[in-house]
Amino acid sequence: MLDVRRLRLLRELKIRGTLAEVAEALQYSPSSVSQQLALLEKEVGVELLRKSGRRVQLTPQAEVLVAHTAQLLETMEQAEADLAASLTTVTGTVRIAVFQSAALALMPGALTRMSARHPEVRVEMTQREPETALHETWARDFDLVIAEQYPGHAAPRYAELDRIALTSDAIRLAVPPASPRRTPVTTLADTAGLPWVMEPRGAASRHWAEQACRSAGFEPDVRFETADLQAQIRLIESGNAVALMPDLVWTGRGTTAQLLDLPAKPRRTVFTSARRSSAKRPAIVVTREILAATADSIGPASPTSARSG
């Protein structure tokens, strides 16, 4: 009988690449991980790992075990979900990965609702970029992810993850407050030559914003890079930058910035994903229901701002 815990270590090594990263993810010591994998090799009677420089490489036989381990973990997770569903009380922990604007707009209200309706469910939230969070949810670091997809920019797909739409919001051009000292901005093309603030390279919002500017006939002058949307807002409102911003960032706050509609009226989609094998676990089901109720209660963002169509 093969040891499931050791099989999982082998799969984690396949996913994460190094013994050190496996140890960090599972809170083991690297030497303990190495020892357990050596014991697994003895159990199966074949070589599973080969040295490749400073890293280790899985043998073809190890790849066979990893494939079966993935199926085994899914079956065990489904069994746990079915067992939890048979109980009359919803309990357990839900680990959520969420990007910043959703964390600000959705999570406070959702956590309040959860505390009132399901006090025995513990929600743990970590801020992550959507692309990273989807991978980490697939890898079992999280139970649920709130992610985003920009028009024409497909978010990563994992066959093991489902996808349920949560809400959508308009993307608008945010420019500083009107002032006699500034040339009026009425279109995206008017921002050519103005300083821009964007998220760091690699973010879906950055890629989409750059493509929108290029389609308007110019290369954006990105002088400021930050993943902190509150910092972006302050730069815009203080007259130092322009940006393309989704409406969710304005939830619960007014702004002195001008929000200008774009010609195609693009919208960003916000969705949740969970592993299919655990999606029916009651704690995950009620968390999604509460997130949906929270999103519905917010409705379209409508900050106090000058807005142009």
For the domain with range 4-84, which CATH number is right: 3.40.1440.10, 1.10.10.10, 3.40.50.300, 3.40.50.2300? Answer: 1.10.10.10
pLDDT at 242 (0 to 100):
96
In the 8-state DSSP scheme, what is residue 176? Answer: P
pTM, 2 dp: 0.82
pLDDT at 299 (0 to 100):
67
Q: How far apart are the C-alpha atoms of 114 and 91, rounded to whole Å?
A: 11
Over residues 256-292, the pLDDT tens digits come to: 999 999 998 999 999 999 999 999 999 999 999 999 9
Report the candidate in 113, 135, 138 with the shortest Cα–Cα distance to residue 123. Answer: 113
Q: 306 pLDDT exceeds 70?
A: no
Work out the percent of the chain whose per-residue pLDDT is above 90: 63
Q: How far apart are the C-alpha atoms of 19 and 22, rounded to whole Å?
A: 5
Mean pLDDT over the full length of the chain: 90
For residues 290 and 114, the answer to whether their CB atoms sit within 8 Å is yes
CATH T-level assignment (fold) for domain 91-300: D-Maltodextrin-Binding Protein; domain 2 (3.40.190)
Report the candidate in 153, 107, 151 with the shortest Cα–Cα distance to residue 128. Answer: 107
Task: For residue 300, name the pLDDT band (cuts at 50, 70, 90).
Answer: low
pLDDT at 179 (0 to 100):
79
Report the candidate in 283, 284, 279, 276 with the shortest Cα–Cα distance to residue 71. Answer: 276
Is the pLDDT higher at 203 or at 124? 124
Question: In the chain, which segments carry CATH 3.40.190.290?
Answer: 91-300
Task: For residue 108, name the pLDDT band (cuts at 50, 70, 90).
Answer: very high
Pairing type for strands 164-175 and 267-274 reads antiparallel
Pairing type for strands 258-260 and 164-175 reads antiparallel
Question: In the chain, which segments carry CATH 1.10.10.10?
Answer: 4-84
